[in-house]
Amino acid sequence: MKKSQSLPASIIATLRQRRSRPRTAAPGVGERPAGTLVASYNVHKCVGVDGKFDPARVAAVIREIAPDIIALQEADKRFGARHGLLDLARLKDETGLVPVPIESANEAAHGWHGNVVLFRQGLVRDVHQVALPGLEPRGALVVDIDLEGGAELRIVAAHLGLLRRSRSQQARMLIDIMKARDERPTLLLGDLNEWRLGDRSALKELGPAFGALPMPVPSFPSGLPLLALDRIIPNRPDIVSDVMVHDTPLARIASDHLPIKAFFDPSITGLAIAKPSPPKAAALPMTTLPLPVLPVANDVAPDRAEDRPLPIPAPAEGQSRERRNSELVRKAGARLKRAVKRTLQRSERPQR
């Protein structure tokens, strides 16, 4: 088991290696190892670090990665009709990737709260859309896929909130989801928005289902990645390779996050020691999508918000709850930006 890395050590290592960043794209499909390549990419609504809205540039990065399965975050507009921002038909023609079907009242959206899962080959057995708790509208997709060759894989694609207490609550709900479903090899993919490591991290809540977390790989900001906001976390040891960052000149400008990737080895899933199946938990608040290949119950469980009330301060007199929530989220984002700025300033100081 690898020792967890501290945040200062991770940042220092990144700064020391910044001059050795690759100047060309990663190897193509024919040169990659065997296995199923899974990836996660926050596309930042297709707005690059240069401020330009360019979905074709994001699609080009996905072509560079050449994944078999990829989870995208922020693939839809956040407000209004939440229109999808990518040309999925063209992406299918160029990469063979198709989106996992979801149930949505908004036909213009690509995914669920901006989360999209695309896959190349296999059979989608089950899809659940989970509304995560917190001040921001966040969600997760739980997808069961039978890969080519018969291996089973569950993908949990999520985008957690900016507030730490929201992330802790969302992580606990993901654990509840794992307990409520049959045990199978599972990968948690997404922008988990947690830059802290060790005991201070909200991701320690994932321990009961995922065990020791893999070594973090800095992926944000893309120009000089210092923070491991994006993660690929398996629920069994050794079923995935070391997580890598897809660091290419195009990826550094297409979004403020770099994509991350790892290889899932289906041949190991049968050898890994399966964890004992936990008792079935109570039904979860989620939107269930029955697919033709395997009918599933279309039950919507009662709201469990009362189980874990969110400890937020009472709004000031005359101030709406929505306005208070928006202010808390804005402050959390500003704190993250200030932390990155301070770190960059320290790296520029001359050493004594």
DSSP labels, 157-181? EEE--SSHHHHHHHHHHHHHHHHHS
Q: How far apart are CA 76 and CA 141, in angstroms?
A: 15
At position 41, the amino acid (one-letter code) is: Y
Domain-located, residue 203: yes
Reported confidence tier of residue 333, pLDDT bands at 50, 70, 90: low
89: phi then psi, degrees, rounded to nearest 5 = -65, -45
CATH number, domain of 125, equals 3.60.10.10
Domain-located, residue 344: no
Q: What's the average model confidence in pLDDT over 166-174?
A: 92
Least confident range from 11-20, 307-316, 339-348: namely 307-316
Mapped onto helix, strand or coil, the DSSP state of residue 155 is: strand
Name which residue leads in pLDDT, 328 or 318. 328
Q: How far apart are CA 314 and CA 316, in angstroms?
A: 6
Domain-located, residue 132: yes
Q: How far apart are CA 28 and CA 63, in angstroms?
A: 9
At position 96, the amino acid (one-letter code) is: G
Residue 170: is its pLDDT beyond 90? Answer: yes
Domain-located, residue 341: no
Domain-located, residue 342: no
Using only C-alpha atoms, what is the Rg of the chain?
Answer: 20
Domain-located, residue 294: no
Residue 71: is its pLDDT beyond 60? Answer: yes
- Per-residue model confidence as pLDDT tens digits over 172-220: 999 888 887 778 899 999 999 998 887 778 888 888 888 888 888 999 9
Residue 316: is its pLDDT beyond 60? Answer: no
Of 201, 159, 156, nearest in space to 177 by CA: 156
Q: Which pLDDT does position 103 carry in this prediction?
A: 80
Compute the mean pLDDT over every residue in the chain, rounded to the nearest whole number.
77
Query: What domain count does the chain have?
Result: 1
By percentage, how much of the chain surpasses pLDDT 90?
42
Here the tokens at position 5 are: 């890395």
Reported confidence tier of residue 253, pLDDT bands at 50, 70, 90: very high
Cross-strand bridge partners of residue 142: 128, 156
By percentage, how much of the chain surpasses pLDDT 70?
66
Q: Which residue range is the domain that position 14 belongs to?
A: 7-289
Q: How far apart are CA 47 and CA 57, in angstroms?
A: 9
Here the tokens at position 330 are: 């804005």
Reported confidence tier of residue 345, pLDDT bands at 50, 70, 90: low
Domain-located, residue 75: yes
Handedness of CA 132, 340, 229, 67 (dihedral sign): positive
Q: How far apart are CA 15 and CA 8, in angstroms?
A: 11
Reported confidence tier of residue 232, pLDDT bands at 50, 70, 90: very high
- Per-residue model confidence as pLDDT tens digits over 10-35: 667 767 776 667 666 655 545 667 78
154: phi then psi, degrees, rounded to nearest 5 = -110, 130
Strands (DSSP E) found in the chain:
36-42, 69-73, 98-99, 116-119, 123-132, 138-146, 152-159, 186-191, 230-234, 244-245, 260-264, 286-289
Domain-located, residue 193: yes
Of 269, 264, 271, 275, nearest in space to 183 by CA: 275
Residue 132: is its pLDDT beyond 70? Answer: yes
Here the tokens at position 317 are: 């007199």
